[in-house]
Structure 1
Amino acid sequence: MLNIIVNGCFGRMGQELQEEINSREDLTLVAGIDRTTEDTAFPVYQSLAEVNEKADVVIDFSHESSVATLVDQCVQKQLPVVIATTGLSEETKQKLNEASRTIPLFYSANMSLGINVLIEALQKVTPALEEDFNIEIVEKHHNKKKDAPSGTALLLADSINNVSQTKKEYVFGREGKENENPLNEMGIHAVRGGTIPGEHTVIYAGNDEVLEFKHTALSRGIFANGALKAAEFIQKKRSRNVLNERITTIKR
């Protein structure tokens, strides 16, 4: 049995995570953390510091502004933590690195299995194509998403740059009449509308041929499921630093 605390339990992903946990007999939601309160079958607190329930792991789907404090409190309580919140600042990412030397900590800008397999594919094809192909990324999300471009788009861009012989300069959208669009630029374009859970397309465009890699999230359930797999992973591994695993390497 895995006992879980959910930070941001009343947010969209927090509620999705509740459903996933409640559907499984081997998982228990022992406490939630949120700024608001609702009637629930589990106790809800304002911060992890107030939680006295025994837990095996904390899963965070909250807001960037609360992540640093949560991680500090996880270190104090020696609790493993899965950080699934996106849009983290460089300062917060550095704090994750420091905390990972003390507690098991898993972080990815995207928890879906498909995205992480996509990263593997991009890193295999990029070295063969980068000299002759422009590379562009288009990401689409719902109209409630605050950050742009998405953390996943930047994760994909970084994964490409990590294996590129000539590092790409990121161009966030394109405008103007004098653009030269050289091969050493990588355009990253954000679309916001409706209820799109998430769609990412990586385009390799050469002379007379185009290769596209596309991932579409049809529901938020894939992210909740991925976060639970991450929680199970660090609980079984009990490593003090799992940030060096490929899926958990800190990306933007």
Structure 2
Amino acid sequence: MAEARRTQVLDARYELAAAPIARGGMGDVWEGTDVRLGCRVAVKFVRFPGDADEEERTELVRRFLREAKITAELQHPGVPSVFDIGYDGDRPYLVMQLVRGVSVADLVAEQVRLPVGWAAGIAAQVCAVLAVAHRASLVPRDLKPGNLMLEPDGTVKVLDFGLASKQVSERPQDVRSVRPEVPESLTAVVAALLEKRQEDRPSGAVEVYGELIDFAEDLGPMPGILHPPSLPSPQRMYGAVLSRVFAATKGGPERPR
């Protein structure tokens, strides 16, 4: 990745760390400092394969800029904020909110068997992000554990809105064949999401959220990953108030519409 470090400071403003902190499908992410504001940021570069021709490089830049636009349009706590975009030579870069935490891929690898409640809770948060994306007529197509970040306060951020090749032929394995303790009704939700034909899948993220939220219970502490429950969390305080909006008239916390 030496090619991306032609300059130590981008646009006389963003000072990069010595090495990338993550590598994604379309680019590499570096931690940096906005020297004008004195805050930490994430800087994402498009990555060109060594054998890419001019047409392929142009297409990669187009997709990278499209992802930047998509991310900038979405206003949601589960989407990293976009601050700036620029070029280092012919390579575009995106300046974003620096997200701290652990990827869900690493979390699963570390926990081996993620509790059902936490799996449902993470998926429900992702559905909340998808709901706002769908309202903007945007369809993220690269959702996977490596693109989801669990922050120390328990919130989940979706890091990548790029495109991927959706899998259409192989029949997915039944969840209960590997996790017998998963409730049958939750297994049915997962199976419906993995149906090959669109008409056989749920109608949208809001419907899936409604199916998942009741399983998001017993979300116990994760030492070393989440802040201890005794530590005040502004996000949880905010969410606790929002959960009471309309609760008196609807008989419970509102589900997103």
| More strand per residue | 1
Give the TM-score, by structure 1 length: 0.24
Give the TM-score, by structure 2 length: 0.24
